[in-house]
Every structure is written in structure tokens, then in C-alpha cells.
Copies of this chain bind each other. A is one copy, B any other.
């Protein structure tokens, strides 16, 4: 009997099941430095303790996407080892910042199941929570994946499709306690454009591009303890390519978006997202954003922008997204929908 992890198959999931994922992780200054080495991250709140203190925080938190990647990575052995496809995200919220010294673990609840008509696989919806060392939820989101069945003759479960919001409502956004942008220093932050300067429908080409190397995406993906073999093993595909973890593209695009959105400091919600096409080493990633919505918050000087973040592997200056048939253009890597906090 093999002692290695075969992963879970579609028939191993039941609605209401809670999976406590393995390998809790203490994060510290090392993860922070590596994040800045892996991505051209420059948002001041995540770069300087002093800048963060001037915004009312106890210090500079770890990048919101570090929390996301770590929480996500822990779910891979239980949720997506036998996944055929990562289908979507919804209803994601960051509930409190993560600081150096915090320990994170993940837990997922199965909230939906639907067997495919071919009887060979099905869709599993999970709500995943990232939990810190004192039991507080720091982050939660829904993800759904298509998972193979171990036994095609296994009975189909009752279909349960969760009711998910198209976007997190502005009133449901959680602004970190004590966050205060009333003394915000735009000069140190790097750009003068504030919440009032952005219009719904406005598009911003972030101009810069980064050509990705194998060593970089593997360092990142391992750091988040995501062990999906497609990211590491060049013998896994006939073409010898390693598929880059979709989260690497998210972080790269978010960091590139500094140029034009330097004041979109904190990510507070993940409304949805699609990894439109695979990314491979050698691709040069660029990004553009579109302002989808705007909202005020109760915190002093803090507004919220709902943004579409698109990563491409070619030119981004003409805002490529979908073809006339509604399918993503081949150069589009990522289409992400999130809320960020910005000084008003």
C-alpha cells in the first residue's frame, strides 16, 4: 500500500465536509523580501513600516497576495491534485492584514457539487478560509474546480450549486481596523492620482513588461508550498514545458499595475478571476486595468475601487481581452476582478 498522497477524487467530496489542510506556515521578513525579489512590488504600504504606521497600521503587513498564495497552496493536495481545471473564484475577502510572525493554516468547506454529464468528472465548490495562530480568519474565498472521478461507476451526488455574488458588495468590504488615509503622503507613495481621479470605465495600460524565467516561478510556487507537479517537472508534459502557477501571474500583474495605480494600496476583495490562457517561461507579462466600480468606506480618507486586472503576454496598450465570439484572446493570461482601497 502506497504511503504517498493520491489526492481526492470527485466521489470523495460531500457537501458540508470540512477539510483541515496540512502544513501550517509561519511567515516573516524572509517571505516579504522574497516577494519583492520575485515581483516588481512597490506599493508603499507593503514596503515601509513607517509609511504603514502613518496610515494607522502597526507596521507594514505582508502583501495581501502572500496571504492568498499561502492559503491557496495548502489546499492543493486536498482539492486540486486531481483537478482537470481551475474554473473560478468568487466572494473572496481579506479580513485582516498578515504581519511577520503570523502563522497561517487553511480550511475548506465543500459548498457545492455537480457531476458532469459525461460521468467521468464533476465540479467541486469549496469555501476556503485562511486562519491565523489565534484562530482569526484572515482571508476567505470560494473556488471551484473540475475533478476527475476515481471510479466512473460511482453514484453521482445530489447537485448543489452555491449561490455566489457576481461581486462582493461594497458594503461587505472589510477595511482593516484603524486604517486611516487622511495623512497619506502621495509623494512617498509614488503617484498623485487619488480615488476621485479615477472614473468608472477608465482603462489604464501599465506599460512595463517582465519576461519570466523558470527559476523565478518555481521559487515563488515552492515558497507558497504549492506542490502541484505541473509547475516543477519538465518531464510532465510532452512539450517539456512547466505550466506557471496562475498565482504567479496574478502577483506579477498586480505589481506591474503600480505604474498607474500606485495608490490602490490594499486588496480587500476578490470578486472573480479566470486564468484565460497558460503562461510559460519566456513569456513577457504586461498588464492593464479597468475601473469597474467605485465606493466610499466609513474609514477616514479611504475609498474603494473595483478593478479589472488583465495580464497579457503581448502588447497591452490596446487593452486586449476577448474576441467577438466572447472567448479570451490567445495573448490574455488573466482576467481578475478585485476591490482595492485607495485614499480619497
Question: Per-residue 0/1 for A255-269: is the Cβ within 8 Å of any B Cβ (1 yes, 0 no)?
Answer: 000011110000000
Chain B, residue nearest A283 (CB): B234
A239–B210 alpha-carbon span in the complex (Å): 16
CB of A69, distance to nearest CB on chain B (Å): 12
A31–B26 alpha-carbon span in the complex (Å): 13
Whether the Cβ atoms of A32 and B38 lie closer than 8 Å is: no
Whether the Cβ atoms of B48 and A103 lie closer than 8 Å is: yes
**The residue from B28, B193, B218 contacting A3, defined by CB atoms under 8 A apart:** B193
Is A245's beta carbon under 8 Å from chain B? no
**The residue from B36, B44, B189, B259 contacting A223, defined by CB atoms under 8 A apart:** B36
Asked if A37 meets B225 with Cβ closer than 8 Å, knowing A105-B188, A211-B232, A284-B234, the reply is no
**A2-48 at interface with B (beta carbon < 8 Å):** 2-5, 20, 22-26, 28-34, 36-42, 44, 47-48
A50–B135 alpha-carbon span in the complex (Å): 12
**A197-229 at interface with B (beta carbon < 8 Å):** 197, 204-211, 213-216, 218-220, 222-223, 225, 227, 229
Chain B, residue nearest A25 (CB): B47
Chain B residues whose C-beta falls within 8 Å of the C-beta of A219 in the assembled complex: 37-38, 216
CB of A214, distance to nearest CB on chain B (Å): 5
Chain B residues whose C-beta falls within 8 Å of the C-beta of A218 in the assembled complex: 210, 213, 216
Question: Per-residue 0/1 for A159-187: is the Cβ within 8 Å of any B Cβ (1 yes, 0 no)?
Answer: 00000000000000000000000000001
Interface residues of A, count at CB 8 A = 76
Whether the Cβ atoms of B22 and A30 lie closer than 8 Å is: no
Chain B residues whose C-beta falls within 8 Å of the C-beta of A207 in the assembled complex: 4
Whether the Cβ atoms of B220 and A187 lie closer than 8 Å is: no
CB of A341, distance to nearest CB on chain B (Å): 17
Chain B, residue nearest A6 (CB): B207
Chain B residues whose C-beta falls within 8 Å of the C-beta of A229 in the assembled complex: 208-209
Chain B residues whose C-beta falls within 8 Å of the C-beta of A3 in the assembled complex: 191, 193, 197, 204, 260-261
Chain B residues whose C-beta falls within 8 Å of the C-beta of A103 in the assembled complex: 48-50
Whether the Cβ atoms of B216 and A22 lie closer than 8 Å is: no
**The residue from B24, B26, B30, B235 contacting A34, defined by CB atoms under 8 A apart:** B30
Chain B residues whose C-beta falls within 8 Å of the C-beta of A30 in the assembled complex: 28-34
Chain B residues whose C-beta falls within 8 Å of the C-beta of A105 in the assembled complex: 48, 188
**The residue from B22, B204, B259, B284 contacting A235, defined by CB atoms under 8 A apart:** B284
From A50, A51, A60, residue with most partner B Cβ within 10 Å:
A50
A214–B5 alpha-carbon span in the complex (Å): 29
Whether the Cβ atoms of B211 and A38 lie closer than 8 Å is: no
Asked if A208 meets B232 with Cβ closer than 8 Å, knowing A36-B223, A47-B225, A222-B38, the reply is yes
Is A306's beta carbon under 8 Å from chain B? no
Whether the Cβ atoms of B205 and A4 lie closer than 8 Å is: yes
**The residue from B39, B213, B227 contacting A215, defined by CB atoms under 8 A apart:** B213
9 A-B pairs within 8 Å (CB atoms) are namely: A3-B261, A22-B187, A22-B191, A28-B100, A30-B31, A33-B33, A40-B232, A211-B214, A213-B218
